[in-house]
Chains A and B, each alone.
Chain A
Amino acid sequence: MSYQYNIGCSLSNLKGIREFIRNSLKDQNVPEIEMSAIVLALDEMCSNLMIHAHHCNPDHLLELHVDVPTRGKFIFEIIDDGSVFDINEFHEPELDNLVHQKRKGGLGIRLVKAIMDNVEYLKRNDKNVCRLTKQLKVD
């Protein structure tokens, strides 16, 4: 089963993204703690893209795909045509430094890396595809 959702790059649409992910996974017996973490990771990736690659322009679209697996390996793709920001190449600042500098950013990428098993970037039909994978034990 796969699901798709297209949405404009407005931060007010993040709630819709969270609902889409929840709805896509609702019949998969995903434990609530895992569900919340996955929803969070997708929210973080989309808000990062909206802010940094699309400057919150609601006319720019993100395309979300969810592949619900047969063996517990969930695949989430975010497709856009903005500039690519590879979080694997980003070195998160130490928490102590964030506190000292009173910075509000820098935590989202840390969350995504902690929650997802893998984050990779590819090109498909001239568009950027950010693919996040998560292996879950589901009944």
Chain B
Amino acid sequence: MVHIKRLQEDGADIISVIGEIDASSSIELDLTIAKSLGEGYRKILVDCSALEYISSAGLGVFMSYIEEMKDKNVPLVLFGMKEKVANTFSILGLADLLFIRDTKQEAKKLADELSV
């Protein structure tokens, strides 16, 4: 079960993912990122501080946007991950493919640098 909230700060769309993302709920994350992109946001941050669990279905959603974000020059930066969630990303070596930061401030800073 996952709840997803969006709010906007300094021109960035901040997507908060609350709960668990598995094969039954990853579609909600997918639709939310697609919506954010569709609405034309130039910086997308994903707040993972309340994300308790993610399986490959959720990881696959982030992976599937890497090329599109690069093409559109829209940085997608994840932040605030708990250790157990970060471990899932690192098992696959995704930390090298995705932009991941510890805090919202760091994520915003990176998004600003990347979107110049």
Contacts and interface: CB of A to CB of B under 8 A. Distances in A.
Task: Select the residue from A33, A40, A44 with max chain B CB neighbours within 10 A.
Answer: A40
Nearest to A11: B24
B60 A107 contact: yes
If over half of A's interface residues share one DSSP class (helix, strand or loop), that class is named, otherwise mixed; here it is helix
A91 interface: no
A128 B9 CA distance: 52
Contacts, number: 89
A110 interface: yes
Contact of B55 (A43, A50, A102, A106): A43
A107 B22 contact: no
Contacts of B103: none
Contacts of B87: 33, 36-37
Interface residues of A, number: 31
A8 interface: no
Interface of A: 11-12, 14-15, 18, 32-33, 36-37, 39-40, 43-44, 47, 50-51, 95, 98-100, 102-108, 110-111, 114-115
